Amino acid sequence: MGEPYTKILVFLYASALLPLSLCLWWLGYCSPYFAAAAIVLGAGFLLSCYRNIVATRRFGKAFGASIVYILGLLLAIIIDISARAVR
């Protein structure tokens, strides 16, 4: 199996993050603004994973993109929850 199989699995796991992050909006914990941020961040992360893992062998860049993705998602959650608390 080796590296091609692992590349596919990593991309599939990364693809699963988008619907999981949207669950926070779907269940009512976050606003539609968070959903928009999650879609943009998720699409960017998937694009980066495809370019850096599937198409080429730049695993370090994909790791950096995952750090940016998770920080952006957490920042979106913090801003969304804080904006709700102010109202």
What pLDDT does 86 receive?
A: 85
pLDDT in tens, 17-76: 999 999 999 999 999 999 999 999 999 999 999 999 888 888 899 999 999 999 999 999
Specify the DSSP element, H or E, that contains 78: helix 59-86
What pLDDT does 72 receive?
A: 97
For residue 23, give the nearest of 42, 50, 48 by alpha carbon: 42
Higher pLDDT, 4 or 83: 83
- Interatomic CA distance for residues 76 and 54, integer angstroms: 28
Beta-carbon contacts of 84 under 8 Å, excluding residues fewer than 6 positions away, are 31
What pLDDT does 55 receive?
A: 86
